[in-house]
């Protein structure tokens, strides 16, 4: 696992957006003005790569079944800016690893994305990214 602040700092430095730890909130309490989206980052869980019943019955299979740390990147922006904001954030995390010298082994990968909430002018979007464990170093 890694500290979420590493990814928060990466997205903030690459995009210039206002990025913070994820908190429970609503779209109405997430102010958006102009082109300054609000971005929230937080780990949401860990899953194994393979999810068959045989994995847990065989210790050798379990050793070769890497865990994936799931992290949520949520942002609220103007609906008209969704494509641009999503591209900027995706470019910030694609190929990024929170561990120095692990770039060739494990980096953040896209898992899924969807809208969480919408108003007439705003959209609240969520990207889920994953990092495979164990690391080499």
Res 57: pLDDT? 56
Per the structure, the count of domains in the chain is: 1
Closest CA to 41 of 10, 71, 81: 71
Query: In whole numbers, what is the pLDDT of the chain averaged over residues?
Result: 81
Neighbours of 67 (CB within 10 A): 15
Res 88: pLDDT? 96
Res 67: pLDDT? 80
CB 130 within 8 A of CB 109: yes
CB 129 within 8 A of CB 114: no
Under-50 pLDDT residues of the chain: 32, 34-35, 136-137
Structural domain that includes position 103: 4-133
- Distance of CA 39 to CAs 28, 86, 100, 131, Å? 14, 11, 24, 19
User: Helices (DSSP H) in the chain: which residue ranges?
Assistant: 4-15, 53-57, 59-63, 82-93
Specify the CATH number for the domain of residue 45. 3.30.2000.10
């Amino acid at each position: 696992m890694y500290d979420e602040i590493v990814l928060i700092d990466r997205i903030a430095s690459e995009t210039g957006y206002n990025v913070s730890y994820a908190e429970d909130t609503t779209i109405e309490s997430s102010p958006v003005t102009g082109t300054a989206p609000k971005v929230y980052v937080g780990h949401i869980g860990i899953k194994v790569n393979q999810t068959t019943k045989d994995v847990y019955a065989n210790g050798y299979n379990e050793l070769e079944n890497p865990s994936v740390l799931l992290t949520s990147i949520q942002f609220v922006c103007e609906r008209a800016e969704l494509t641009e904001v999503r591209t900027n954030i995706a470019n910030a995390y694609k190929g990024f690893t929170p561990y120095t010298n692990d770039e060739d082994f494990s980096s953040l990968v896209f898992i899924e994305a969807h809208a969480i909430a919408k108003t007439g002018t705003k959209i609240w979007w969520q990207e889920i990214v994953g990092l495979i464990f164990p690391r080499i170093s």
